[in-house]
Chains A and B, each alone.
Chain A
Amino acid sequence: MAKHDATERDAVDQYASGSFSDALPDNLWMHIGLIASIALMSLPIVLAAIMSTQSVSQIYEVTNLAPGGQGVDNYTRALFEHNLFAFMINSFIMAIAIVVGKIALSLLAALALVYYDFPYKNAVFVFVLFTLMLPVPVRIVPLFELMVNLDWINTMWAITVPYLASATAVFLFRQHFMAIPASMVEAAKLDNIGGIKFLIYVLIPMSKGMIAGVGVITYVYAWNQYLWPLAVINNEENQVLQVGLKSLEGTAAAGQIEWGLIMSGAIIALIPPLIVLVVLHKPLLETFGLQQK
Chain B
Amino acid sequence: MAEIQLENITKRFDDVVAVKDLNLEVKDGEFIVVVGPSGCGKSTTLRMISGLESVSEGTIRIGGVDVTGQEPSDRGIAMVFQNYALYPHMTAKRNMTFGMNSAGSFTDEEIEERAMSAAEILNITDLLDRKPGALSGGERQRVALGRAICRDPQVFLMDEPLSNLDAKLRVQMRAELAKLHDELGTTTVYVTHDQTEAMTLGDRVVVLDGGQLQQVDSPQRLYDFPENRFVAEFIGDPAMNMIAVDVADGTASHPAFTIPLPDADSLSVGSSVLGVRPEDLYLADEREATSPETFEATVSVTEPLGDSLLLHGQIEGHEFKIQAQPRRTITPGDTVELGYDPDRLHLFDRDTGEAIYHSDPAVSVTPPGVTQ
Contacts and interface: CB of A to CB of B under 8 A. Distances in A.
Given A191-B100, A193-B102, A186 B81 contact: yes
B99 A205 contact: no
A190 B79 contact: yes
Given A181-B85, A186-B85, A206-B88, A191 B102 contact: yes
Interface stretch (A143-151, A162-170, A194-202, A211-219): A194-202
Contacts of A183: 81-85
B52 interface: yes
Contacts of B83: 181, 183
Contacts of A188: 99
Interface string B70-99: 011110011101111101111000000011
A191 B103 contact: yes
Contacts, number: 57
Contacts of B102: 191-194, 197
Contacts of A201: 98
A192, A194, A205: most-surrounded residue (chain B CB, <10 A): A192
Contact of B73 (A181, A184, A190, A202): A190
A184 B73 CA distance: 15
B71, B74, B84, B87: most-surrounded residue (chain A CB, <10 A): B87
A24 B146 CA distance: 60
B298 interface: no
B89 A189 contact: no
A interface majority secondary structure: helix
Nearest to B103: A191
A187 B85 CA distance: 7
Nearest to B74: A192
Contacts of B87: 184, 202, 205-206
Contacts of B78: 190
Given A191-B99, A192-B73, A192-B103, A205 B89 contact: yes
Contacts of B90: 205
Nearest to A192: B73
B50 interface: yes
Contacts of B73: 189-192
A205 B85 CA distance: 15
Contacts of A184: 85, 87
Contact of B52 (A189, A192, A193, A202): A189
Nearest to B84: A183
A83 to B, nearest CB: 44
A184, A190, A194: most-surrounded residue (chain B CB, <10 A): A190
A123 to B, nearest CB: 20
A67 to B, nearest CB: 47
B140 to A, nearest CB: 13
B121 to A, nearest CB: 20
Contacts of A187: 79, 81, 85, 99, 147
Interface in B189-242: none
Contacts of A192: 71-74, 99, 102-103
Interface string A66-106: 00000000000000000000000000000000000000000
Contacts of B147: 187
A206 B74 CA distance: 27
Contacts of A206: 87-89
A184 B79 CA distance: 11
B88 A193 contact: no
A191 B90 CA distance: 16
B77 A190 contact: yes
A107 B87 CA distance: 19
Contacts of A191: 73, 98-100, 102-103
A193 B85 contact: no
Contacts of B100: 191
Interface string B92-116: 0000001110110000000000000
A183, A193, A205: most-surrounded residue (chain B CB, <10 A): A183
Nearest to A186: B52
A191 B104 CA distance: 8
A181, A186, A197, A206: most-surrounded residue (chain B CB, <10 A): A186
A189 B99 CA distance: 9
Interface of A: 181, 183-184, 186-194, 197, 201-202, 205-206
29 contacts: A181-B83, A181-B85, A183-B83, A184-B87, A186-B79, A186-B81, A186-B85, A187-B81, A187-B99, A188-B99, A189-B52, A189-B72, A190-B72, A190-B77, A190-B99, A190-B103, A191-B98, A191-B99, A191-B103, A192-B73, A192-B74, A192-B99, A192-B102, A193-B99, A193-B102, A201-B98, A202-B87, A205-B87, A205-B89
Given A186-B72, A187-B81, A191-B98, 10 more contacts: A183-B83, A183-B84, A187-B147, A190-B50, A190-B72, A190-B77, A190-B99, A193-B102, A194-B102, A201-B98
**Nearest 3 interchain pairs by C-beta:** A191-B99, A192-B73, A183-B85
